[in-house]
Structure 1
Amino acid sequence: MNPLLAAAAHVLDLDETPRRLAPDHPTGWRTAHWKIKTATGDRVARAHHEAHAVTLLHAAGLYPARGVHGHLGEGVWTAVEWRPGTTVWDLCAPAREGRVPTPGFEQELLDVAHAAFDALARLHTAGWHHGDVQPANIVVTESGDVEFIDLDFTQHPTLLPLPYPYRGGMDHVTAPEIAERLLHTTTDVHLELTDAA
């Protein structure tokens, strides 16, 4: 087992073997109750950033999951409580796969969109910006609430700056305001997020 993952498993007192989060995610694992990431080298600062964002958001009552993190040598591991639910990406799978959506799907999707905008507005009101709003990072819980996951691009005045220039999330969901700035700046220029973007 990866030594960082083993350290996390020990601290979390896991009674199960973590499984890979996704085939293309070599440093992420999950268990029934935790999402665990490990980081070495230039990824350590990013992991620290996300761990502190989770801690601050949880303390402010803006994020329901608590986080834990630790060090082993020059590496770091982070663990965030697993958020049960369905991502918007998975929710939309029938449409992507050409299947006929279930009756009421359109209304369900509209309800999710409104809940996501409300949740995002609460974050913005508190001065937080997620930085990577995309279908895979929006979870619809069993109660119908919407939560945002993967907080490694998150920005807030009390959070240390990102350890690298922020250049937007995934291209196909980048806000027009960010895309415009991307076109007119070099890759070493940090783009500050706004409520509109």
Structure 2
Amino acid sequence: MRIQRLVTISTAALLCLTALTACGSGDEGVSAEGELGNPVPAKNGGTDGSGGSDGDGKTGGPGLPKAGSMAKAAQIVNAYGTCNDISTNPNDDDFFPGDETYDQKWSVTERGACGKGTRIFMFKDLKTFQAAYKAQLDADRKESPNKGHRGKFLLGQDFAVLPDQKPVIRNAIKPGGLLILNCHPDFNPPTGYRKDPALVKGCVLTNYFED
């Protein structure tokens, strides 16, 4: 009968509402990473819960893009400066002497160079990378107190960039881009610029670049 059928449907709907996990939340088709350059914000203020390295989903920088591969990182960097031809050959002329020191201790898994002095470092763990830079800077500052005052690396969630041209840096730190890792104790940008806590105490992520 029609009345009995309506009662059956209403009962099923009520059961579905009281057990959402059994009926699905409707988000199965949504990508956690979002489109390139337009990360999907997560509840913790990051771009997605998998980007964190400290176990609780924190990324150490809200909105940082995640590459997942050297090719994708080069594609992201190419939006800020020329990075059409990426090379992972350490004998390439675009590699800088000393880049080999960014190794497993930094959690670096792959190094690339894309011309005009721009290098990319893929890493597994954002917190380990930040900690390695902080340790290196603390050691260097014993002889050069001002070293690192402008910061050094441009950071994404799983890659770092060392550009050799100031225009690349300025383009990269525009809204929706990368942020500069700065671990200098005296760093204090003007009001209005970002100074987000990094995953390592004493370090911040900022969009302030001082020439």
Which TM-score band applies after superposition, normalised by the shorter structure?
A: under 0.3
TM-score by length of 1: 0.27
TM-score by length of 2: 0.26
Which of 1 and 2 has greater Rg? 2
